[in-house]
């Protein structure tokens, strides 16, 4: 017996007793991208993006595999070095970076690569037309405790006539053509935008394929959850401090907000996209330009959140309008549900006009 479920997938029930319900027409990531591209026929699709995405998928699967066995094969702990922005590298930061670089080189479709773990841009041989920016392992301080970490990435097209320079990536986030992350949790979850909404895929380990499980993710318009490292309160500016204080004062007959902070941007943003609320890492007197990096943390997440119907700001400016001054440039950031982020902007407006 065959029927169609609410996502439009065909399902088959073997014996008529519904315990045996199995999906037989699943949408893999590759199928999804091919369908999306043909739906936009008339564009100049060459198949290059599909091939790039295949290499990205491979990197995510390979990193997921290493994270899953990390404790057993002595992959936890420090590597004994620090990266371009001064963070101590974990062994998995180094391995994740190597996996990512090799996969992007092998795709033949990437010209310029920026990685959190590399001081300079990498320019590959060949005639790749894409630039990829990445945080190979985000939330690595959480690795040894088995808490969810992720990989964040963004994609630009090489500029017309360019042979691959830093100018190809020192561009506003609004120029990205795709972005996403994979969260390595109970399963590997890939969340992707190509500028036409947001879709979520879950890795089926047996099939080795990312399967569309969360079509057309929309972030709730509001939700009483905030996610921020509140230990930094003493360093915050007045607007930020007043805003977060206001969330703890319940409206008449209502409840104060709930606090949720994992300390892995990918995991905190995954929850924020699905449940709603706000995630923030504000600039403060200790980190004058914030902590999170524009190219491979703020831009991809801002792109996703806007495509899901939310907002992303530094308090004064839309994140995607910022042009980074260098590849590891940072920014303060507030992002999430539209109505929650609007409140922060109101606090910033109020304090600017004083």
Binding site for ligand AHG (CB under 6 A): 87, 116, 135, 138-141, 229, 263-265, 281, 291
Name which of 134 and 190 has its Cβ closer to ligand AHG: 134
Which candidate, 91, 87, 89, 63, places its Cα nearest to that of 75? Answer: 91
- Give the CA distances from residue 201 to residues 3, 147, 161, 191, 192, in Å, rounded to whole numbers and listed in that order: 22, 20, 35, 6, 8
Which candidate, 206, 204, 205, 202, places its Cα nearest to that of 192? Answer: 202
Interaction partner, residue 199 (Mn ion, ligand AHG, none; CB < 5-8 Å by kind)? none
Please give the backbone phi and psi of residue 208, each rounded to the nearest 5 degrees, phi first.
Answer: 70, 25
As measured in angstroms, the least distance from the Cβ of 198 to ligand AHG is 20
The residues pairing with 279 across neighbouring beta strands, listed in sequence order, are 227, 335
Cα separation, 63 vs 236, in Å, equals 35
- Asked if residue 268 binds Mn ion (CB under 5 A), the reply is no
Name which of 53 and 149 has its Cβ closer to Mn ion: 149
Cα separation, 229 vs 195, in Å, equals 30
As measured in angstroms, the least distance from the Cβ of 291 to ligand AHG is 6
As measured in angstroms, the least distance from the Cβ of 294 to Mn ion is 12
Contact with Mn ion (CB under 5 A) among 135, 209, 306, 340:
135
Name which of 229 and 246 has its Cβ closer to ligand AHG: 229
As measured in angstroms, the least distance from the Cβ of 99 to Mn ion is 13
Number of residues near Mn ion (by CB under 5 A): 4
Q: How many CA atoms lie within 13 A of 233 on its CB side?
A: 8
Interaction partner, residue 264 (ligand AHG, Mn ion, none; CB < 5-8 Å by kind)? ligand AHG
As measured in angstroms, the least distance from the Cβ of 277 to ligand AHG is 15
Cα separation, 46 vs 24, in Å, equals 29
Which candidate, 271, 273, 154, 177, places its Cα nearest to that of 216? Answer: 273
Interaction partner, residue 301 (Mn ion, ligand AHG, none; CB < 5-8 Å by kind)? none
Name which of 271 and 291 has its Cβ closer to ligand AHG: 291
Name which of 139 and 282 has its Cβ closer to ligand AHG: 139
Cα separation, 299 vs 41, in Å, equals 27
As measured in angstroms, the least distance from the Cβ of 336 to Mn ion is 18
Residue of minimal CB distance from Mn ion? Answer: 138
Name which of 52 and 143 has its Cβ closer to ligand AHG: 143
Residues 6 or more apart whose CB falls under 8 angstroms from that of 13 comprise 1, 3, 20, 21, 22
Contact with Mn ion (CB under 5 A) among 29, 61, 111, 138:
138
As measured in angstroms, the least distance from the Cβ of 250 to ligand AHG is 26
- Asked if residue 340 binds Mn ion (CB under 5 A), the reply is no
As measured in angstroms, the least distance from the Cβ of 137 to Mn ion is 5
Cα separation, 231 vs 86, in Å, equals 21
Pairing of strands 258-259, 209-214: unpaired
Name which of 94 and 212 has its Cβ closer to ligand AHG: 94
Residue 280 contacts residue 228 (beta carbons within 8 Å): yes
Which residues would be at the binding site for Mn ion (CB under 5 A)? 116, 135, 137-138
């Amino acid at each position: 017996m065959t029927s169609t479920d609410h996502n439009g997938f065909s399902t088959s029930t073997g014996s008529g007793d519904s315990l045996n319900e199995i999906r037989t027409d699943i949408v893999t990531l590759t199928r999804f991208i091919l369908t999306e591209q043909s739906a936009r026929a008339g564009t100049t699709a060459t198949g290059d993006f599909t091939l790039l995405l295949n290499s990205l998928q491979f990197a995510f699967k390979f990193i997921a595999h290493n994270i899953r066995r990390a404790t057993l094969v002595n992959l936890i702990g420090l590597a004994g070095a620090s990266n371009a922005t001064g963070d101590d590298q974990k062994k998995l930061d180094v391995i994740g970076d190597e996996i990512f670089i090799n996969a992007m080189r092998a795709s033949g479709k990437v010209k310029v690569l920026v990685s959190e773990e590399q001081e300079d841009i990498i320019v590959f041989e060949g005639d790749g037309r894409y630039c990829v920016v990445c945080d190979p392992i985000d939330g690595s301080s959480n690795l040894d405790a088995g808490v969810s970490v992720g990989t964040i990435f963004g994609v630009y097209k090489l500029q017309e006539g360019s042979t691959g320079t830093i100018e190809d990536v020192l561009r506003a986030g609004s120029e990205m053509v795709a972005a996403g992350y994979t969260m390595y949790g109970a399963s590997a979850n890939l969340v992707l935008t190509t500028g036409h909404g947001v879709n979520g895929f879950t890795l089926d380990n047996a099939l080795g394929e990312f399967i569309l499980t969360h079509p057309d993710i929309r972030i709730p318009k509001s939700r009483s959850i905030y996610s921020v490292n509140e230990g930094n309160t003493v360093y915050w500016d007045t607007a930020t401090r007043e805003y977060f204080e206001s969330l703890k004062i319940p409206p008449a007959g209502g409840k104060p907000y709930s606090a949720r902070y994992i300390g892995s941007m990918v995991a905190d943003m995954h929850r924020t996209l699905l449940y709603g609320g706000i995630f923030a890492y504000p600039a403060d007197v200790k980190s004058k330009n914030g902590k999170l990096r524009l190219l491979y943390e703020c831009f991809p997440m801002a792109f996703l959140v806007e495509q899901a119907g939310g907002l992303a700001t530094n308090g004064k400016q839309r994140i995607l309008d910022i042009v980074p001054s260098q590849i590891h440039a940072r920014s303060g950031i507030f992002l999430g549900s539209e109505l929650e982020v609007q409140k922060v902007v109101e606090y910033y407006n109020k304090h600017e006009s004083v």
